[in-house]
Chain A
Amino acid sequence: MEFFVAQLLTGLANASSLFLVACGLSLIFGVTRIVNFAHGSLYMLGAYIGYTLMQNLPGAVGFWGSILLAGIAVGIIGVLVEVLVLRPVYRAPELFQLVATFGVILVIQDLTLIIWGPEDLLGPRAPGLRGVYRIMGEPIPKYDIVLLVITPFIALALWYLITQTRVGVLVRAATQDREMVGALGVNQAVLFTGVFALGSALAGLGGALQLPKGGADLLMDFHILAPVFVVVVIGGMGSLPGAYLAAVIISVLNVFGVTYLPQSTLVLMFVVMVVVLMIRPYGLFGREEVAGEHGQVGEPELPIKPASNSVRMIVMAGLALLALLPVFGSSFAMVLTTDILIFCLFAASLHFLLGLGGLVSFGHAAYYGGGAYIAALLVTHANSPMEIAFLLAPLGAGLAALAIGWVCLRLTGVYFAMLTLAFAQLLWSLVFQWGSVTGGDDGLVNIWPSDWLNSTTAYFYFALLFSVGGILVLRHVAHSPFGYALRAARDSKRQAESTGINTQKVQLLAFGFAGFMGGLAGTLFVFSKGSVFPNELEIARSFDALIVVFLGGVKTLAGGVAGAAFFKGVEDLLTRFEYWRLVMGLLIIFVVIVAPQGIVGSIRKAAIRLNILKQGGQT
């Protein structure tokens, strides 16, 4: 019993930082509909700024003052981010802002490295709170007790702000219907900035408050991100009580998991999330999202049309040039182009889901990495020849996508996206944990193609054939009746169904098809590199694809491919420089602001304005 109580208290103390960061994220999403991936970076900044302040301000007053000031400072940084980066792109297509926040992450990472240096900082102790209290004989650190007392008060203060004040009324109104709030004469810009500042300040506060339990390091931004998103989704996006309850549930379950199932540390919270979303599709306290509210932001999409003859000629000429690369290019040029081609196919497969299907998958790496792993497992454990593995792996990935899609398609919008992320993460932890079969994070090595393909030139042609072929097939399917049905289901589910389209089935098939193509890209990848590691299933890989698709242009057919080719090429150049993340982040933000329709979309728009391209259709 004593042990049980002690565990409960530990869990509640852990919930503190998690809740602060999560409720900030939840507030921001609720009002501005921005999925703020830079929230972890704000948390990290809170920790670093708090650390520096604590070094300079003495005593208990200095300590608690530093925490408060860190919150305020991060709030101000939040205002800067909102005004400079996000405000220009509020009218961009759905979820486009998350790409901008990704750029912010990269910038903050390098700036933090420049300012505070690479070494981990150990957080200062809270003055007078070193040591433990004995509660029923069990030692509990004093600071834990302080945390679990403070948090409910902060939660109460927030609750008061949201439910009892004029500001809170506006925030809640904006959460429910922000157009209406705008129509009633409320200055939305100020409201959005204010909420973003408040959310950022809470993240900073969370970062500074956890200092005595740990410290500040350069990896903490990504490490907090997954748990925070899980908490926000379980609680219901936009709900404060939900965030608190979910933070407590996750933290307490985690403490018990550590004790009774020590190996569970990687998966537990994702399992909880899947279970909760199965029972309550909008989280514990979330509301159903109003259809169309953020699906139709921005200009309506143009109908698609087949490429004109001149475009076809240009594509043919370009392909011919690529096919001649082995003649005039170096061996490395072929390797780099192979990488780019594979990534283009991966991005195109996601673009098919995202652009044509309107299905935002945060976990597309599951099929890319899944395909790579199926091929590698077949070669390693069944000694199957490369050709067989190459045939079976994309099929396996497609089947996995069908199974996962079948579950996820019960949900919509951000909840759908988060569920796909959860499944990708479950697959990742399965591969990571099941060392005897998958090699864990030591991966599977020596997965090379058959002899006839083993030269760089042969494999380059092989990758060229399948990548370009795959992209053309994806494009062809977009123009087929199936593609039309898919877009109909995206634009208006009800109308599509009334014309006899089984939207559920169409979307599921599209999910499986995109998974198959993603798996094909993964299979090409594994044989080109000769090894595969869990990195290929990571969240980061899913986001690589997501970001290039958005930057290329969601509402254009070639957006995914163009974005992938452009950014993979730029990345290869930039990583040669010292502070490449800073430059990359700024480049992403620049593209987001200058070309809110993506690279391809904005070029097309410019061309129409200059009368180079005729209006009325996209190629």
Chain B
Amino acid sequence: MQRKTFLRAMIASAALAAMPLATWAQDTIKIGEINHYKRLAAFAGPYKQGIELALEETNAAGGVLGKPLEFIFRDDQGEPGEAVKIAEELMTRDGAVMLTGTILSNVGLAISSFAGEKGYVYLASEPLADSLVWGAGNKYTFRLRSSTFMQAAMLAEAAAKTDAKRFATIAPNYAYGKDAVAAFKENLLKLKPDAEFVAEQWPALFKIDAGAEVQALERAKPDAIYNVTFGPDLAKFVRDGTDRGLFEGRDVYGLLSGEPEYLDPLGDEAPEGWTVTGFPWYDLSDGPAGEFVAAYQARYDDYPRLGSIVGYMTVQSIVAALEKAGSTETEAIREAFEGLQVASAMGGIEFRAIDNQSTMGAYVGTTALQDGKGVMINWEYKDGANYLPTDEEVLKLRPAE
């Protein structure tokens, strides 16, 4: 009896899976988009809105290769194994021509490994892990957003210009945090060989014991602090650090801390005078970035986050690649992405042929309070192309193809 039930369930699910669902609308070009819509709703939401805005604009202008462009959005629950299963479904059943998406690095790496093995093109839009294009890179995986290394290098450049000698770091205890600290150290020591690292704190991700971390940093008496914490950890760290006077008279460098996703929840307690990477959308009024911000606000009655512009640029990159390829064949798309020039919302970017990393940059500026909200002032857009290792180093990092 139990066997029967088991088999019935099994057969039913197999039969369901075998049913062709998407027989309609075959005349669109489909892109499979996998993300953690539930697990990281605050980040995936604006990202999806950016994609949808770009899609509407693209299709209003006649689509790509004479067909409308369509995204199939799927939730992977933040699980690498699920993402791989969905990737297979998107490519073999739903008729997607390529894959994109993910915020979490581990999910991005899982899809990348799968795409490399099966020969599917994957544009990693948001994951930051350096290994995605270097240590674990493959010829089918491309990455849009400026990586951990690039953004850390931008902050290291700013830190090298000051007199600070004694540095302390605080980063979440996982791969992103460790990469971010390593890249900052590497770049800073190149520019300022006598810099000293007097403390390294590693709170567990989203489980920071802020009081204790602040005390430990204070005890090391650093001249400057490099912060990699984000989300609720950042809020707790800033609050406890401000209360206990940790930031007084010290330079602080914050990776991603200027992104609206992280800065806005802090409200009027946003830190002042930190050097951060972020997204000062409120100051963007000219050029492609300004057009994007205006269009976004008009469309959604909401302001864009960093994820929004990344989503927007994801579509722009895919459209450019499809047009250059002139077809939806995997190999044609892959070859089109190599060295692809995109006139994106952040200006011209290029997907480098050497490691498939785009040269998308980041905005670096200083935090300040305006009208009870944290903003970036004196910011500057830094072109990602200038913050990558030399070609020889990159070739050493990437496995031979």
Contact = CB atoms under 8 A, between A and B. Distances in A.
A132 B16 CA distance: 62
A7 interface: yes
A213 interface: yes
A23 interface: no
A441 interface: yes
Contact of B110 (A118, A331, A440, A533): A533
Given A441-B175, A572-B17, A332 B92 contact: yes
Interface of B: 1-7, 9-14, 16-18, 20, 38, 41-42, 45, 74-75, 77, 79-82, 84-85, 88-89, 92-93, 105-106, 109-110, 112-114, 116-117, 129, 131, 136, 173-175, 178, 199-204, 206-207, 209-213, 215-216, 219, 231-232, 235-236, 239-240, 243-245, 264-267, 269
B257 to A, nearest CB: 14
Interface stretch (A185-193, A235-243, A282-290, A598-606): A598-606
Nearest to B399: A446
Contacts of B79: 535
A265 interface: yes
Contacts of A215: 232, 235, 265
B145 to A, nearest CB: 16
B12 A265 contact: no
Given A265-B173, A332-B88, A558 B2 contact: yes
Nearest to A448: B117
Contacts of A217: 206, 231-232
Contacts, number: 273
Contacts of B210: 213-214
A480 B347 CA distance: 71
Contacts of A561: 2, 6
B74 A607 contact: no
Nearest to B113: A445
Given A10-B215, A525-B81, A558-B3, A445 B42 contact: no
Contact of A442 (B85, B114, B129): B129
Contact of A443 (B77, B109, B236): B109
Q: Output the residue of A255, A307, A565 with the most chain B CB within 10 A.
A: A565
| Cβ-closest 3 pairs across A and B | A558-B2, A569-B13, A118-B41
Nearest to A143: B243
A456 B93 CA distance: 14
Contacts of B9: 562, 565-566, 569
A530 B114 contact: yes
A445 B110 contact: yes
Contact of A266 (B204, B213, B239): B204
Contacts of B85: 335-336, 339, 572
Contacts of A453: none
Contact of B265 (A122, A332, A439, A600): A122
B34 to A, nearest CB: 11
Interface of A: 3, 6-7, 10-11, 13-14, 113, 118-122, 130-132, 139-141, 144, 213-215, 217-220, 223, 227, 254-255, 258-259, 262-263, 265-266, 307, 311, 314-315, 318, 321-322, 325, 328-333, 335-337, 339-340, 432-433, 435, 439-443, 445-446, 448, 456, 525, 529-531, 533-536, 553, 556-559, 561-562, 565-566, 568-569, 572-573, 575-576, 580-581, 599-600, 603-604, 607, 613, 618-619
A603 B116 CA distance: 45
A258 B2 contact: no
B4 A311 contact: yes
A9 to B, nearest CB: 9
Given A531-B80, A603-B5, A139 B243 contact: yes
A274 B265 CA distance: 38
B106 A536 contact: no
Given A122-B266, A218-B41, A322-B10, A330 B93 contact: yes
Contacts of A311: 1, 3-4
A40 to B, nearest CB: 12
Given A213-B236, A265-B173, A557-B2, A329 B203 contact: no
Contact of A321 (B11, B114, B245): B11
